[in-house]
Amino acid sequence: MSADADAPVALRPPRHRVSPRAVRWWTLRAALGWLVVVAAEAVWLAVGPVDATVQAVALAATVAVALAHAIGMPRWRYRVHRWEAAPEALYTQAGWFDQERRIAPVSRIQTVDTARGPLEQLLGLATVTVTTASAAGPLRIAGLDRRTADALVHELTLAARAGADDAT
């Protein structure tokens, strides 16, 4: 313990945000999802409307919700998704209604995975998932800049290899 326990301290948010391009990624993903719903409603309205006014209103409402979600969600998420890697521990934060912060000692890290979906590849992003020997909650950092992700994975893999015991 470095500081004395009496000093008022708090867990501060992790230092780094994910890549700003992640906003575009989340927007794109949300938009694609909503597009399917909106298209289905539009086709129904065009081909065989049961009650044209009600359906038109529903379509308009869907579009409004979709716009709000696709524009609002990524910006909010960009504000709350944070991460930080210290020499001894990895620290992540996510969630806006239920805020969750996870800390894992680097010495207990077992696997470090990188995943890149099609949209992420397009935008040069990557998702890093770090697991420990516990089945409870791996640490996940989504929307990292690809170069940052590679550096982080490299660093964590080296550190995890250094602590070569069972890690349980």
Give the interface with other proteins as residue ranges (CB under 8 A). 1-12, 14, 84, 86-89, 91, 97-105, 108, 132-137, 139, 167-168
Residue number with CB closer to other proteins (127 or 132) = 132
How many Cα atoms sit within 13 Å of 106 on the Cβ side? 19
What is the smallest separation between the CB atom of 81 and other proteins, expressed in angstroms?
A: 15
Give whole-number Cα distances, 119 to 3, 60, 64, 80, 141, in Å. 45, 27, 24, 21, 16
What is the smallest separation between the CB atom of 106 and other proteins, expressed in angstroms?
A: 10
What is the smallest separation between the CB atom of 160 and other proteins, expressed in angstroms?
A: 12
Residue number with CB closer to other proteins (84 or 150) = 84
Give whole-number Cα distances, 150 to 10, 11, 95, 158, in Å. 30, 27, 24, 12
What is the smallest separation between the CB atom of 157 and other proteins, expressed in angstroms?
A: 17
C-alpha span between 128 and 160 (Å, rounded):
15
Residue number with CB closer to other proteins (111 or 121) = 111
3-state secondary structure of 98: coil
Residue number with CB closer to other proteins (54 or 133) = 133
